[in-house]
Amino acid sequence: MAKNSAVSMAASNLESVSSSASGQPAPRKSAGPRAAARRANEKRILAAAEEVFALAGFTGATTAAIARRASLPKANVHYYFRTKKALYRSLLNNILDLWLNEADSITEDADPAEALSAYVRAKVAYSQNRPFASKVFANEVVHGGSQIRDYLENQLKARVDGKVSIIRRWIAEGRMSPVDPYHLFFSIWAATQTYADFECQAAAVLGKDKLTAGDYRKAADHVEAMILKSCGLEPGGAAGS
Amino acid sequence: MAKNSAVSMAASNLESVSSSASGQPAPRKSAGPRAAARRANEKRILAAAEEVFALAGFTGATTAAIARRASLPKANVHYYFRTKKALYRSLLNNILDLWLNEADSITEDADPAEALSAYVRAKVAYSQNRPFASKVFANEVVHGGSQIRDYLENQLKARVDGKVSIIRRWIAEGRMSPVDPYHLFFSIWAATQTYADFECQAAAVLGKDKLTAGDYRKAADHVEAMILKSCGLEPGGAAGS
DNA sequence: GTCTATACATGGATAGAC
DNA sequence: GTCTATCCATGTATAGAC
């Protein structure tokens, strides 16, 4: 099936990030009523795609379903994003940008407890507010991440390595217990994202249809406490043993 | 609109769980050389399917790919499992059985630290030894779990509720710190399964192709320590505050 | 029971009218 | 830029010879 899959086109970094991330008609620069309409339509399609890809995965999602969800004829979707894969990759790029900036609270001179607490809470909030984005990312990674290999190995690794250095310094300075910083991140990601990616399982076990705002509050409290304790930190911001 | 997209196929509950869970030819009972060959072939197909479904998801997996991986002609796969969905559901049933029995170490009279430690280690070992099974399950849940709703809401919930009662008692008896038992399980599942489901992300961040035995050892140590600390427990088995 | 050839449906992508 | 009609590849499932 895969033929020359995906990874191949990893190189072609399309126009970096934001704006009109896909098509080829590429109008002048970015202003004007036409460009505005284009951006609006792209946004609509991307929002629809986020939901459909999250629910059905890449192959399970159909352009027809995405078009329907965006209230557009199927051909329009192909007009703005020439192929299904191009649309998928645009969507992934948007999602990865969100991912990268979530750990901003972890800085050299921050208080460890406050920084980790803020990070955990931001991640839980993300699971609550952008469950579809989280699921698209999860789906991609579970299936081997061929479309985001470059991102994982370079941008994400670099970002995480930076945060790991900070945590190592905190440990060296005795501001928190010695824990493996990489695995600490793996645990934070897993424990927080599970409320988006595995929501239906958590909800079923709790005997409800879907998680409530109260559940997310409890989730944030629980994960925060777990992470802080595992680092020998107290919620207030003081360092323990 | 949204005719009966993917999600709809939840209703058809097939034969409950165990044995040869699929075909319709259904020979006599279970003995004889024919039956043995049948079981062997079914096993081969299921093993191949586990890998293919894990890598590509339900819709992304093709019967041709499964047949190829099992070194059988495509028609044989359909002979043993009439439809792709029947094969998928058989596979899921096998996987769910594994899932249910993993928490066996958590019993009324066990030592909390030892019981939780054993559970965490069993889960990490499962991620290491059966990554494809874990991914198939993860994929199903991420996509809404329509094929396993009944399992999640009944069997799994009942099993977890039982374990939750035990943990509540441990807390009441002062044998561990007060934590929300449900969220404790969510964290354990997430933090351990991430080493199978999100392996490629962890590997990329660690700068390698795939996780090594040493990584899994570190992972188990890390998650064990985190869970025990979050419950106010010491690795040895003694209870802390 | 095994396998080759094939029927039939779905879905990605495009042509070409508006 | 928008949309309808259509092309064509892929993939599930089966018929029917061995």
Q: Is the CB of A129 under 7 A from strand C?
A: no
Q: Give residue B27's pLDDT.
A: 52
A–B CB contacts, 8 A cutoff, strictly below: 186
Which residue among A55, A205, A227 sits closest to B6, beta carbon to beta carbon?
A: A55
Residue of A nearest to B162 (CA): A205
C1'-nearest nucleotide to the CA of B41: C1
Residue (of A188, A70, A29, A207) closest to A118 by Cα position:
A188
Contact between chains at B225 and A182 (C-beta distance less than 8 A) = no
A contact test, residue of B123, B154, B205 with most A CBs within 10 A: B205
Phi, psi of B239 (to 5 degrees): -95, 135
Nearest to B98 by CA among B18, B157, B39: B18
Instruction: Report pLDDT for A29.
Output: 58
- Do residue B141 and residue A200 have CB atoms under 8 angstroms apart? yes
Searching chain A, which residue's CA lies closest to the CA of residue B185? A202
Contact A157 B223 (CB under 8 A): no
Domains of chain B, start order: 29-82 (1.10.10.60), 95-230 (1.10.357.10)
- Better-scored residue on pLDDT, A183 or B3: A183
| A160 contacts B201? CB cut-off 8 A | no
The predicted pLDDT at position A2 comes to 35
Q: Which residue of B has its CA nearest to A67?
A: B2
DSSP secondary structure string, chain B? --TT-GGGTT----S-SSSS-S-S---SSS-HHHHHHHHHHHHHHHHHHHHHHHHHHHHH--HHHHHHHTTS-HHHHHHHSSSHHHHHHHHHHHHHHHHHGGGGG--TTS-HHHHHHHHHHHHHHHHHH-HHHHHHHHHHHHTT-TTTHHIIIIIIHHHHHHHHHHHHHHHHTTSS----HHHHHHHHHHHHHHHHHTHHHHHHHHTSSS--HHHHHHHHHHHHHHHHHHTTB-TTS-B--
How many C-alpha atoms does B140 have within 13 Å on its Cβ side?
27
Contact between B194 and B200 under an 8 Å Cβ cutoff? The reply is no
The CA-to-CA distance between both ends of chain B, in Å, stands at 57
- Distance between CA atoms of B63 and B85, rounded to whole angstroms? 10
What token pair was written down for A179?
A: 């824990």
Residues with Cβ within 8 Å of A95's Cβ and at least 6 positions away in sequence, in order, are A50, A133, A136, A137
A173-211: per-residue pLDDT in tens? Answer: 999 999 999 999 999 999 999 999 999 999 999 999 999
Would the pLDDT of A102 be above 70? yes
B233 beta partners: B239
Check if the beta carbon of residue A133 is closer than 8 Å to that of residue A98: yes
pLDDT digits (tens, 9 = 90+) for B192-227: 999 999 999 999 999 999 999 999 999 999 999 999
Q: Tokens at residue B230, please?
A: 């979050």
- What's the Å distance between residue A5 CA and nucleotide D1 C1'? 32
B78 pLDDT more than 50 = yes
**Cβ distance of B139 and A144 shorter than 8 Å:** no
Span of A10-24, A83-97, A127-141, B153-167 with lowest mean pLDDT:
A10-24
Three-state helix/strand/coil letters over chain A? CCCCCHHHHHCCCCCCCCCCCCCCCCCCCCCHHHHHHHHHHHHHHHHHHHHHHHHHHHHHCCHHHHHHHCCCCHHHHHHHCCCHHHHHHHHHHHHHHHHHHHHHHCCCCCCHHHHHHHHHHHHHHHHHHCHHHHHHHHHHHHCCCCCCHHHHHHHHHHHHHHHHHHHHHHHHCCCCCCCCHHHHHHHHHHHHHHHHHCHHHHHHHHCCCCCCHHHHHHHHHHHHHHHHHHCCECCCCCECC
Q: Which of A129-133, B23-27, B34-38, B56-60 has the lowest mean pLDDT?
A: B23-27
Q: How far is B73 from chain A (nearest CA, A)?
A: 17
* Residues on chain B touching A227 (C-beta within 8 angstroms): 226
A81: distance to nearest CA of chain B, Å? 21
Chain A nearest-CA residue for B188: A191
The residues that bridge with B239 in the sheet, in sequence order, are B233
Contact criterion met (CB < 8 Å) for A200 and B145: yes
Does the pLDDT of residue A18 top 50, yes or no?
A: no
d(CA B184, CA B168): 12
Predicted confidence band of residue B7 (pLDDT cuts 50, 70, 90)? very low
CA B116/CA B170 separation, integer angstroms = 12
Tokens for A46?
């991307």
